[in-house]
Amino acid sequence: MSVQERKQRERAERERLIVATARELAEQQGWDAVTTRRLAERIEYSQPVLYSHFRGKREIIGAVALEGAAELAVAVRAATGAADGPRERVLALARAYLDFAARNVAVYDALFQLDGGLAYAREDTPEPLKDAFAALLESLGEVAGDGVPPGLFTEVFWASLHGLATLTRAGRLLPDDAVQRVELLVDRLAVV
C-alpha cells in the first residue's frame, strides 16, 4: 500500500468516525448538542482536523442524512421484498418507514427536518436520496391508480407517512390508533 493510499484510507476512516460520532451524539442528546467542539473532543482530534473534512455542522448533518437515506432504502426494500401482493407490500413499506423514523430520530431529522445542504427533487440530488425515493416508488408505483403518475403518487404517500411520523413523535396522535391509521392510509389512498 502506498503512502497516498494509506492517507486516503485514514482520511475516510476519520470521516466515518466524525459522522458516526455526530449521529450517536444527536441520537442521545439531540442535534443542538452536536457542535464541532464536542465532536472534536469525542473523536480526539482537533477542530481544524474536523474542518478539513466538513466545513461545519450543516455538512455533517448532510453526511448523516445520506447515510440514513441508504439505510432507509435498505429497510424499505427488505420489508417489501418479504411481502406477498401489492397491499401487503404497501403495508410493509409504511410500517418499515414509520419504524425507521421512530428508531432513528436524529437521522430522520437530518433527512427531512434539518438543513444539511442537500438538494432534494432536483437534477443534482445525491444518489442515496434518489435511491431512497426509488425504494418507495418500487412498491407504490404499482398501486398509484389509473392516470396517476407513479412519482406523484409516491410523493403524496410519502408526505402522508412523514406526517404520521412527525405527528406521532410530537405526541399529537393517539398511540392506540397507530395500526388503524396505517391501514386506513393504505386502503384509502392506494389502489390495490
Do residues 26 and 106 lie in contact, with contact meaning Cβ atoms separated by under 8 Å? yes
Per-residue pLDDT tens digits for 80-120: 999 999 999 999 999 999 999 999 999 999 999 999 999 99
The amino acid occupying position 181 is R
- Largest interatomic CA distance in the chain: 60
Q: How many residues does the chain have?
A: 192
What is the Cα–Cα distance from 156 to 95, expressed in whole angstroms?
A: 16
pLDDT tens-place values along the chain, 192 residues long: 788 998 899 999 999 999 999 999 999 999 999 999 999 999 999 999 999 999 999 999 999 999 999 999 999 999 999 999 999 999 999 999 999 999 999 999 999 999 999 999 999 999 999 999 999 999 999 999 999 999 999 999 999 999 999 999 999 999 999 999 999 999 998 877
Q: 83: closest CA among 154, 161, 138?
A: 138
What is the Cα–Cα distance from 166 to 105, expressed in whole angstroms?
A: 10
Q: Buried (b) or exposed (e) across 49-88, using 16+ Cβ within 10 A?
A: ebeebbeebebbbbbbbbbbbbbbbebbbebbeebeebbb
What is the Cα–Cα distance from 3 to 27, expressed in whole angstroms?
A: 36
At 93 the pLDDT is: 98
